[in-house]
Amino acid sequence: MQGGDGLFRLMARLLYGTGLRRQECCQLRVHDLDLHRHQVTVRHGKGGKDRVVMLPRSLRADLELRLAQRRRLHEADVAEGQAYAPLPFALARKFPRAA
Go through the domains of the chain in sequence order and give each one's CATH number: 6-81 (1.10.443.10)
pLDDT at 98 over 70: no
CA distance 19 to 50: 14
> How many angstroms separate the CA atoms of 16 and 13, rounded?
5
Higher-confidence residue: 10 or 84?
10
Q: What is the pLDDT of residue 2?
A: 61
pLDDT tens per residue, range 42-71? 998 888 889 999 999 999 999 999 999 989
- CA atoms within a 13 Å half-sphere pointing along the CA-CB vector of 72: 5
Helix H, strand E, coil C: the string for 37-96 is CCEEEECCCHHHCCEEEECCHHHHHHHHHHHHHHHHHHHHHHHCCCCCCCCCCHHHHHCC
β-sheet bridge partners, residue 33: 40
- Statement: residue 72 has pLDDT above 90: yes
Mean per-residue pLDDT for 34-42? 94
